[in-house]
Amino acid sequence: METLKQALETANVGKIKEQEPLKKHTTIKIGGAAELFVEPQSIEALQSAMTIINDYAVPWRVIGRGSNLLVTDAGLNGVVIKLGKGINQMSIENDKLRIGAGFPVVPLATLMSKKGYSGFEFAGGIPGSIGGAVYMNAGAHGSDINNIIDKAHILFPDGTLKWMTKDELDYSYRTSILQSNQGICVEAVFHLEPGDATELFTNMQSFKDYRHGTQPYDKPCCGSVFRNPLPDHSGQLIEAAGLKGHQIGGAQVSELHANFIINTGDAKAQDVLDLIEYIQATIKERNGIELQTEVEIVQK
């Protein structure tokens, strides 16, 4: 790993750290250390880094703001790549928004509404970055990324870049082809509609206020834990089972919204995993429904 680190440093790809605690980079504030942690300073730097990492044949994974992620206590081998400030470029031309994967979603939704561009209002309360939103087909309030995206620029492990259309991304509920095919979204193009800035901002803010009033984003959490088994909703099933407030170790089912697990201060990833399993077993026995996790569980 030391020779890989030296190669990345020689290529000047960006910030590089060894044994970086991933709890510093996840919204639930949980996670062991990354063997090697890289924060590229540009798309070109990321492309160089991926080529080098591929040459060394070490495992890797990408994170953004860590809002839909549970990293186990043992941490991760290989390289963790964080897309952040170096990959947050933005341009608007003819109602087309081209935006870097590291740009955070909530500030983007706010900015677009203030500029009078409609389409991103639904995302006013969604934590995370554009790359993660594209990867997960993030959505809320009856809309999602699939409704507004034109194409995404994808970097593959061998260092090649390719634009993929919405159809090629094969979107469905909280799912894209990127979850089964290794590839990193580095930027995306969205089609937006002109609108009244005051009205758009008001609508966006109402979505944002609703989420903040009904979901525990003021506490360390990883967002919605389970996918909704439509037409049912996971939060309603969990609440009906009397599991609000149920706690294992430092992990607790939120009293505000039952599809959220919060870190009460000293939770381990294993506490969260045990609580997830307990909830799944309870709902399976009570309702005959097998809840599937929406949060991505990452381990060695």
Residue of 39, 48, 118, 174 with catalytic role: 174
Give the SS3 label for residue 124. Answer: coil
How many Cα atoms are found within 13 Å in the side-chain-facing hemisphere of 276? Answer: 20
Residue 23's nearest CA partner among 268, 225, 264 is: 268
Residue of 48, 113, 224, 234 with catalytic role: 224
- Can 172 be counted among the known catalytic residues? no
- Can 174 be counted among the known catalytic residues? yes
147 Cβ contact partners less than 8 Å away, ≥ 6 residues apart: 119
Structure-derived torsion over alpha carbons of residues 195, 196, 202, 206, reported in degrees to the nearest 10: -20
Give the SS3 label for residue 273. Answer: helix
**Could you tell me if 144 and 138 are in contact, meaning their C-beta atoms sit under 8 angstroms apart?**
yes
Structure-derived torsion over alpha carbons of residues 98, 101, 107, 113, reported in degrees to the nearest 10: 30
Say how far residue 267 (Cα) sits from the centre of its chain.
Answer: 20
The amino acid sitting at 209 is: D
Residue of 39, 121, 187, 294 with catalytic role: 294
Q: Determine if residue 111 is left, alpha or beta; phi over 0 gives left, psi from -120 to 50 gives alpha, anything else beta.
A: alpha
Return the sign of the alpha-carbon dihedral for residues 144, 149, 155, 157.
positive
- Report, as residue numbers or ranges, the catalytic residues: 174, 224, 294
